[in-house]
Amino acid sequence: MAATPGITDAEEAHVPNPVDRSTFTLYVNGTERTLTLDHRTTVLDALREHLGLTGAKKGCDHGQCGACTVLVDGRRANSCLLLAVAQEDAHITTVEGLAEGDRLHPLQRAFLERDALQCGYCTPGQICSAVGMLREAEDGFPSHATPRTALAGEGPAPLGADEIRERMSGNLCRCGAYPRIVDAIEDVAP
């Protein structure tokens, strides 16, 4: 008998099975990437640690801050909450995939011109989120701020400042650049 049998049990209970891995494909910023990854690897860690794309940021790893926001098949998502293996064949767009060569995406340009950033750590997530948000509005998705009289699905949702603030509230910015972020998005919103 071990001197402290309970501990031995506890240790054994903690030892996981050998790592499960799979080989699968993600389409990242338009490029086919075949990866063999630990099933526990999130899309965020796949991008940052395996594909060298560190634009998506890790602020909390729990879906609370939005710094990791990317577009998955055109819709915004917290990449820290997605297991990469479950996204097989998905098309993922990160902040690195928004510009066309040297030509910045209109939102990137607006963020620069409006000084809608300070430390820059939330910025890639803010910009990806804004891209996804504008598409959602275009597709008629309502938000908490949408008047109840405006039914979903009847064309694009109009985006005033209150709508933008509400729809962008999944992306935290501790530098407090929100007023400028709203200005920048208003510059680009139709």
DSSP for residue 19:
P
Tokens found for residue 184: 């920048």
86 touching other proteins, by CB under 8 A: no
| Candidates 71-79, 88-96, 134-142, 152-160; binding stretch for other proteins (CB under 8 A) | 88-96
Cα(140)–Cα(155) distance, integer angstroms: 5
State in angstroms the smallest separation of the CB of 72 from other proteins: 17
Cα(93)–Cα(63) distance, integer angstroms: 18
139 touching other proteins, by CB under 8 A: no
138 touching other proteins, by CB under 8 A: no
Identify whether the C-beta of residue 163 lies closer than 8 Å to the C-beta of residue 85.
no
Cα(163)–Cα(135) distance, integer angstroms: 14
Which C-beta is closer to other proteins: that of 173 or that of 189? 173
180 touching other proteins, by CB under 8 A: yes
DSSP for residue 27:
E
Site for other proteins in 15-54 (CB under 8 A): 15-16, 18-19, 38, 40-41, 45, 48-49, 53-54
Tokens found for residue 145: 């701020």
Cα(8)–Cα(36) distance, integer angstroms: 33
123 touching other proteins, by CB under 8 A: yes
Pick from 1, 5, 11, 101: which binds other proteins (CB under 8 A)? 11
Which C-beta is closer to other proteins: that of 48 or that of 76? 48
Cα(19)–Cα(2) distance, integer angstroms: 28
Identity of residue 56: A
Chain contacts with other proteins (rule: CB under 8 A): 7, 10-12, 14-16, 18-19, 38, 40-41, 45, 48-49, 53-62, 64-65, 67, 94-96, 98-99, 104, 108, 111-113, 115, 117-124, 127, 145, 164-166, 168-182
